[in-house]
Structure 1
Amino acid sequence: MSDTNPLPAGRVRNTALICLAVAAGMLGLAYAAVPLYNLFCTITGFGGTPMLASGPATKVLDRTLTIRFDANVAPNLRWRFTPETPSIKVKVGETQTVTYKIQNTGDAPATAMATYNVLPEIAGSHFMKLECFCFQENTLRAGETMEAAVVFFIDPAIADDPGMADVHDITLSYTYFPSKNGKTLDASAKQ
């Protein structure tokens, strides 16, 4: 006969609770990953995410950059989206406003939200937005057109960033996606 000592019931219960807690924690982290990543990008400018500024720059430098504007629409959204100009020259620290024209070319109302980024990605932490149409959903009736603006400046701290010394052009890119309650919908989702 073999001598077997069954595990005490308390030990089995504790092991099961630990396994359950680890599984719940992993599930929670999976759900939190995207919002935490978005928060990280918003705070640091990582991945070309423009920063949100609370006020204009305190100084304007002589350095001039070309800012290009890229406007896109997801294939499942029947909107036309164009900037008033394809590019502008701007002094570092100077507040600028650029207007976009947005038109619903479909035959039904549509709600959409713009995602955005900056290229080169390293410039994201220096691209400061004061106001932007991209902060909320926009709903347009069939055939309706609206104008919307982005107000921004390039942070004078760019002059102290050695990685930005050879950057002369920055592209601000937007893409409109169908959305509902502030969340963009999957490309295959119906409106």
Structure 2
Amino acid sequence: MTEAPHNQRKMQRTAFTCLGIVVGMVGLAYASVPLYDLFCRVTGFDGTPIVRDSNTSQVVDRTIAVRFDANVVPSLGWRFSPEKPEVKVKLGETMTVYYKVTNTSDKPATGIATYNVQPDLAATYFSKLECFCFTEQTLQPGETLESAVVFYIDPRLLQDSDVKNISSITLSYTYFPSKAGKPVAEVTSSTTSTVQ
């Protein structure tokens, strides 16, 4: 009879272990998106530019073309474009480029911009000092907003054999409808019309 309490304790330990694993996996599933986003922002992985507070780099006599791509999800009803399609920038040089976004619809709309850098491997060296990305914007019908992106390309790019010979980098932004500060793929017209 002493075997029954022993088996019961083993079964309880097994049940608690399984429950702990399930709870841990659910927690990891919820944490995976913000952790992945943080990882990408810190390392430049998957074309995510690094965000910096200041530029302490030396300017190097090597020029790279930076192209600007501007996209809008069609359901948002905005027109979005950079002031220039391309600039030439020396490595380490701080550059400011302006984008203009206009609400072409007849209703107020709220959007949020996401971004990436191509080629992916160059994102580690594309450092943003100021950006309008991930900032929710509400535009009234016909309203236009001008926003700046301030960036530099880290000269350490020249030490990376995978990207040291690239001649151009593309910074691509996409505006999505926004709900509660998060981009959404589609917003119904009733949701869009109630945005203040």
Shorter-chain TM-score: which interval? over 0.9
Q: Distance in 2 between matches of 1:180 and 1:170?
A: 31
Pairwise mapping of residues 14-163 of structure 1 onto structure 2 (< 5 A)? 14-163=13-162
Q: Which amino acid aligns with 1:28?
A: G
Structure 2 runs not aligned, ≥5 long: none
Q: Distance in 1 between matches of 2:56 and 2:168?
A: 19
What is the TM-score with the length of structure 1 in the denominator?
A: 0.92
Q: Match of 1:113, SS?
A: strand
Q: After TM superposition, give the deviation of residue 75 of structure 1 in Å.
A: 2.0
Q: Distance in 1 between matches of 2:128 and 2:187?
A: 31
- The 8 Å contact of residues 57 and 95 in structure 1, kept in 2 or not, is answered as no
Q: Distance in 1 between matches of 2:158 and 2:175?
A: 32
The alpha-carbon distance between structure 1 residues 135 and 185, as it changes in their structure 2 partners (threshold 3 A), is closer
- The 8 Å contact of residues 57 and 156 in structure 1, kept in 2 or not, is answered as no
Q: Which amino acid aligns with 2:11?
A: V
Q: Distance in 1 between matches of 2:30 and 2:57?
A: 39
Structure 1 runs not aligned, ≥5 long: none
Q: Distance in 2 between matches of 1:147 and 1:158?
A: 30
Q: Distance in 2 between matches of 1:164 and 1:151?
A: 22
Q: After TM superposition, give the deviation of residue 188 of structure 1 in Å.
A: 5.5
- The 8 Å contact of residues 57 and 154 in structure 2, kept in 1 or not, is answered as no
Q: Match of 1:59, SS?
A: coil
Q: Distance in 2 between matches of 1:173 and 1:179?
A: 18
- The 8 Å contact of residues 177 and 187 in structure 2, kept in 1 or not, is answered as no
What is the TM-score with the length of structure 2 in the denominator?
A: 0.90
Q: After TM superposition, give the deviation of residue 103 of structure 1 in Å.
A: 0.5
Q: After TM superposition, give the deviation of residue 160 of structure 1 in Å.
A: 1.3
Q: Distance in 2 between matches of 1:33 and 1:135?
A: 19
How many residue pairs get aligned? The number is 187
Q: Distance in 2 between matches of 1:159 and 1:166?
A: 8
